[in-house]
Chains A and B, each alone.
Chain A
């Protein structure tokens, strides 16, 4: 039964993938490029070699966490698109905590833990604020999360170019760098940083939280129907706070990893769109924390292969964005096939009531 259900869930995305491949091939033909060669290059750039794999995984690492920033609130029926803000603020908070800890001469494990906690707390506060505004003031969380992200990024830019600026960072205003020895290392034998492992762990933990804990179950009940949740006595406000805080913590941790493993310091370059790509990943994963993993890898692969299309086929740099957009639209449209492609075996199972599910996806709380 489990296999059947899995096949049932996987069928629409596969249809969408095929449709995207055909549509993008037509698009390439219109652009005068050879689709087969383009797909060959995408494969080569994303997964064709060990180098490509590492490139792909490095790009996927932040997406694992930023996608959770969207996928977790979706369980409780909230559409939060402010992961970018949590990412940037998390990164700045992490370095703000890490520098004094490093100055005390503490070992790397403690410094990095402190940084992670600071980043997570800051991200959690930002996203939980959207949840709180939603619950207690009725402010739409999609819009407020975006506005809060814009504001948080402006505040962080002001900090890294003002109060927190390292006077030695002359032409690229940044905070003081974390000492090289304290930085988050790589997975042995690769040049993929340990942020990937953290991301994987968090995705699994998020999955367990959502599908195998009472809190997760309660959140999904509220997400399916908030009124029903209230009627059975669930603490809706507290649930919203917990779930949005966890989501924010994931985005803040992603920012901490970017600082501690990649950039070494915080600067305006933290805001380069990992948060927004995370939204895409979460939707493609149908808000399932475990499905976020393969989708993030796929997305990282597409990004990694963009350069080859540009260099070898002379296609514009936006080609991969078009492909991502097409894939996204097709996958969403394929949701409508859900249940219609069901195998005969499945027909015996009781049909779930579609109405509350639809509402949950539409973002009603």
Chain B
């Protein structure tokens, strides 16, 4: 699909299309925004924008961008990770004049964002996932937050609250970003009590409510008394924990209202903080880096407010670690560290900085996690 001569030709045709679109749109109630010289920003979500999860976190960021002066926000939900996303972005550029795009699902990047970025050099693409590599188009950017830091602090709270010393983790797929969270959660809890174990259930996909409920119930049956998850919508897991009378910690965004008794704290994205900053920089004509990453310190992630039942000792330890993250002198992954098959994955004295790309390739579960990566 991508041949050298095709690009320029496509760019030309794209330009023609834009002109034609302008003509057609003129007769069809053209969006006022284009005439007024506004910056048009498009957000694309893989699911529903109010899912109490992944997509809602991004939509909250989009809502923050919408409040900026001189900016119009376009949104499209439930766009699958296929050529549909390429066409959707292309449409936002061609038919609506968008110049900044936020394709927010991980699987949008390769090949769809990359292809379009090559053929639409004037548009800026900001992809959630942290995937950009040297040699890829410069107008494609990929950002990601070290949410495993916030998961670690949530794990500390879970460690304090667990009586059975068994935690449960419902995950979609055994991929590095998920494994990193499972490990961070377990390590956080083990920093409270080294005998704590985490049992993982993989559901196989990002949004399967009935199976997530089954997994949560099975884990509760096995004595897990704090549950957390890495799926697109944590709603069902939180509500199931609440019904079973056990605790949970949230993910993606704040789910406290769904499980008032059970919700201890949660690991949240702070896109409301980041997105207006990125859009503001672009409007001001600044060049953004292609890889944009950060954790607590850079304001990319945060924790939900503690439940009233979380004891002082837990708050104190979690707050202390968060303060160290903010200061930049705490690492989740440091040696000696063994995986759950007994292999040493980090030697004594080794400390992995969050920016270390080795962490992006995590393919193990740490000792104390019951589950396998395949």
Contacts and interface: CB of A to CB of B under 8 A. Distances in A.
So, do A and B actually touch in the complex, CB under 8 Å? Answer: yes
Nearest to A270: B82
Closest 7 CB pairs of A and B: A51-B17, A49-B20, A272-B80, A311-B74, A40-B28, A48-B24, A51-B94
B20 A51 contact: yes
A287 to B, nearest CB: 26
Contact of B13 (A37, A55, A190, A261): A190
A355 interface: no
Contact of A311 (B21, B75, B107): B75
B305 interface: no
Nearest to B93: A51
Interface in B54-109: 74-78, 80-84, 87-88, 90-92, 94-96, 106-107
Report the contact-size class of chain A (Cβ under 8 Å from the partner).
35 or more
A9 to B, nearest CB: 32
Given A49-B17, A304-B87, A191 B1 contact: yes
26 contacts: A40-B28, A41-B28, A51-B13, A51-B18, A51-B94, A52-B17, A52-B21, A59-B84, A162-B374, A170-B175, A170-B176, A171-B106, A172-B107, A172-B110, A184-B1, A185-B3, A191-B119, A263-B82, A268-B205, A272-B84, A273-B80, A307-B92, A310-B75, A310-B77, A311-B96, A312-B29
A263 B111 contact: yes
The interface residues of chain B, by DSSP majority, are classed as helix
A216 B359 CA distance: 59
B76 A311 contact: yes
Contact of B92 (A54, A261, A311): A311
A273 B78 CA distance: 13
B17 A50 contact: yes
The interface residues of chain A, by DSSP majority, are classed as helix
Interface string B1-43: 1110010011001101110110011001101000000000010
Interface of A: 37, 40-41, 44-45, 48-52, 54-55, 58-59, 157, 161-162, 167, 170-173, 180, 183-186, 189-191, 193, 258, 261-264, 267-269, 272-273, 303-304, 307-308, 310-312, 317
Nearest to B176: A170
A115 B352 CA distance: 43
B88 A307 contact: yes
B87 A49 contact: no
Contacts of A311: 42, 74-76, 92, 96
A170 to B, nearest CB: 5
Report the contact-size class of chain B (Cβ under 8 Å from the partner).
35 or more
Nearest to A56: B87
A263 B81 CA distance: 9
A317 B76 contact: yes
B351 interface: no
A359 B230 CA distance: 50
B272 interface: no
A173 B173 contact: yes
A308 B1 contact: no
Interface centre among B78, B174, B205 (most CB of A within 10 A): B78
A50 B23 CA distance: 12
Contacts of A54: 17
